[in-house]
Chain A
Amino acid sequence: MKGAWAWMLAIPPLAIALLFFVGPLLHLFWVSLHTSSQSELYGAALTLQNYGAVLTDSFYLGIIRRTLGVAALILAISLLIGYPVAYFVALQPPRRRMIVLLLLLFPLMVSNVVRAYGWVAILGRRGVLNSGLRSFGLIDAPLDLLYSTEAVVIGLMTILLPYMVISIANTLSSLDPRYEEAAQALGAGPVRTFVHVTLPLSTPGVASGMLLVFLLSLSAYVTITLLGGPRSKLLVSMVYDSVTAFQWPRAAALAFILLALALVVTALILAVLRPRRVQGMGR
């Protein structure tokens, strides 16, 4: 009976998801399998050309590689910076932990566009950084910081780092301190306690943090456009470009390639970290 009730409660959201998400997605996939048309949403003939063209074109492959590269770099940096910060946050007493987490969330309360223009003002040729370095006489000509992959990474990091920190800190602060004591009682010093016990037990937080950061970095658009400029486009920019060029089937195919990348990397992260092992039921 309990199961029946749960299903009844789940029906409205399921219906909405089917109607507005799964349905359109299937339609989009259908669109991606057609030739493009000047007058219609998509042409009459079925084709795999949209996928074939993207996956054989060195321009597109370069962009896929750059997209994955940027995501990997952001993942690596946010993990390296985020884990120690999360560890520090988790050590705080509950009240102070709340305050620190709110401070970490503060940048997210500023609009994406405003924040991206903030970086433009800092990194631009006449920006704060360049004029500062020049007035100190450290450089003669302004550095080209803006409109680069590095600028995109910096811009995305500031948005995505809090997700990593919060999700790891939540896992760490809910860890039973007895686990670490048990390790110490068995002769493990601080480093080995961390490597053999704390780190593996924090994998659920690490995995969810990595997934959030990775998926959000794939779908971010404003930051990438404003800080990457025309030279550092990522896959998501190409979807937009194809749409504006009325290449609807091409845009649909790119969207599915993006989705496939997301699924593959998600599977990879889960396979490597095995967050379910902390449930104590084996792999």
Chain B
Amino acid sequence: MSEEPIDVRLERVRKTFGAVVAVDDVSIDIPRGSIFSLLGPSGCGKTTTLRLIAGFEQPDRGEVTIRANKVTAVPPYRRDFSMVFQSYALFPHLSVAENVAFGLRMRRVPRHERATAVREALDLVQLGAHADRYPRQLSGGQQQRVALARAIIVKPAVLLLDEPLGALDKMLREEMQVELRSLQQRLGITAVFVTHDQEEALTLSDQVAVMRNGAIEQMGPPREIYERPRNEFVAGFLGASNFLDGTVLARDHAGAIVETAAGRIPASAEAAVGSKVRIAVRPERVRVGPAGSEGLPARIRDIVYRGPITHLYMDSAAGSLLSYQQNAGAQAWQVGDEVRCAWDAQSGVAVVAERT
């Protein structure tokens, strides 16, 4: 990965709108052929970051580089990128084929070459039969694929995607995620993907940047972001987490032992013995055993059946706990049962607590 050349680089980019800091000192390197996701709640600056790469916004300071060209002062139409918009922004007065051909026409590619390329691009997204249709005559998913074909036909240095699957229903979205990923890998495209959907970011990306208030809270591969969240915000934004406060009591080769109000729990904190820590544990890592077994004592408050899994909501002296149980066999638990919660040391991650 690290040997690949960098296709997009943001260096200490900052953008304000009036008194609002939309993007605050963001630096990103995106290697060729990878998908980079900007993930965060609305208003976190992810879309502005994307628009800074496109050139639709000018940074107050910092440098934007696309394929070794400094483009900070270059207008969008001279930058080597293309973009898929959330609303698709297909030109309604042009047919599907004309929409897809638009970028080549602007690059003055001869007509017959254009026709061949359009046919290939439409075949790639399985819309070859719809070339002469018009945008509103297509379904949402088909429009999405036309937008994608229109963007990839120009072979951009980077493909920018602004919540491209946001308007699709859940089933279609999951289908398109897989399709998008395989298309991107087949063509070796570098892509920057903006989304507020953590599952989508985890599914699609090589690298994820979790943003909040214009700043990047954590950046890394999906597994690392999910399993080793650095702070409470990241842990909470990517799926559910149990948070437990305590003091590091001892350390050994397996990790640390943390003393909480409900008892001792294992964790992988690197903090010194005696320091206060907040431990995050993913619900799917929480094992539930009968009273008397090893673990944190808790009582079941609520049981929610969710098909493949069951959610167990529990109360403990250290706060509420959530566990996901695979519905592989008969479920023995009842509301009100006294239980014990346990997990491996590496599943308990020390996170930086929110300042409240």
Contacts and interface: CB of A to CB of B under 8 A. Distances in A.
A205 to B, nearest CB: 14
Contacts of A201: 91-93
A281 B136 contact: yes
Interface range on chain B: under 10, 10 to 19, 20 to 34, or 35 or more?
20 to 34
A184 B95 contact: no
Contacts of A176: 87, 89
A201 B106 CA distance: 18
A178 B137 contact: no
A182 B154 CA distance: 13
B89 A282 contact: no
Chain B at the A interface: SS class = mixed
A178 B92 contact: no
B333 interface: no
A277 B91 CA distance: 10
Contact of B83 (A182, A192, A277): A182
Chain A at the B interface: SS class = helix
B102 interface: yes
A184 B76 contact: yes
B150 A186 contact: yes
17 contacts: A182-B90, A184-B75, A185-B81, A186-B82, A186-B102, A187-B78, A187-B107, A187-B154, A188-B102, A189-B77, A193-B77, A197-B91, A201-B92, A277-B93, A280-B134, A280-B137, A281-B136
Contacts of B160: 185
B193 to A, nearest CB: 15
Contacts of B151: 185
A7 interface: no
Contact of B154 (A181, A186, A277): A186
Given A182-B91, A187-B103, A280 B77 contact: no
B56 interface: yes
A176 B92 CA distance: 11
B89 A178 contact: yes
A279 interface: yes
Contacts of B90: 182, 280
Q: Of residues B90, B93, B134, B136, which shows the largest number of chain A Cβ atoms within 10 Å of its Cβ?
A: B93
A181 B133 CA distance: 23
Contacts of B81: 185
B173 to A, nearest CB: 20
A176 B90 CA distance: 11
Interface in A135-183: 176, 178-179, 181-183
Contacts of B76: 181, 184-185
